[in-house]
Chains A and B, each alone.
Chain A
Amino acid sequence: MIPNVKDDEVDAFYEKLKKQAESVGYHLNPDVKFTKELLRSILINEKRYGYGACPCRLASGEKTEDRDIICPCDYRDPDLDEYGTCYCGLYVSGEILKGKKLTSIPERRPSPEERASVEKSVEAPSVLKFPVWRCKVCGYLCARDKPPESCPICKVSKERFERFI
Chain B
Amino acid sequence: MPMQHVDGENKGKLVLYALSTCGWCKKTRMLLEESGTEYEYIYVDLLEDDELKEIVEQIKKWNPSLSFPTLVVNDEIAIVGFKEDEIRRVIK
Contact = CB atoms under 8 A, between A and B. Distances in A.
A56 B18 CA distance: 9
A111 B64 contact: yes
A82 B26 CA distance: 24
Interface bracket on B? 20 to 34
Given A104-B82, A111-B65, A58 B23 contact: no
Given A2-B46, A103-B82, A56 B23 contact: yes
B68 interface: yes
A137 interface: no
Nearest to B24: A104
Interface in A109-138: 111
Tell me what chain B mostly uses at the interface: helix, strand, loop, or mixed: loop
A105 B68 CA distance: 11
B21 A56 contact: yes
A89 interface: yes
B68 A58 contact: yes
Q: Which of B22, B81, B82, B83 has the most CB of A within 10 A?
A: B22
Tell me what chain A mostly uses at the interface: helix, strand, loop, or mixed: loop
Q: Which of A42, A56, A104 has the most CB of B within 10 A?
A: A104
Nearest to A45: B21
Q: Which of B21, B65, B84 has the most CB of A within 10 A?
A: B21
Contacts of B23: 34, 37-38, 41, 55-56, 88-90
B45 A58 contact: yes
Interface in A50-97: 55-59, 88-90
Contact of A55 (B22, B46, B84): B22
Contacts of B14: none
Contacts of B66: 58, 111
A56 B27 CA distance: 12
Contacts of A45: 21
Contacts of A57: 19, 67-68
Closest 7 CB pairs of A and B: A41-B21, A55-B21, A104-B81, A104-B82, A107-B67, A56-B22, A104-B24
Interface of B: 19-26, 44-46, 56, 64-68, 81-84
Interface of A: 1-2, 34, 37-38, 41-42, 44-45, 55-59, 88-90, 103-107, 111
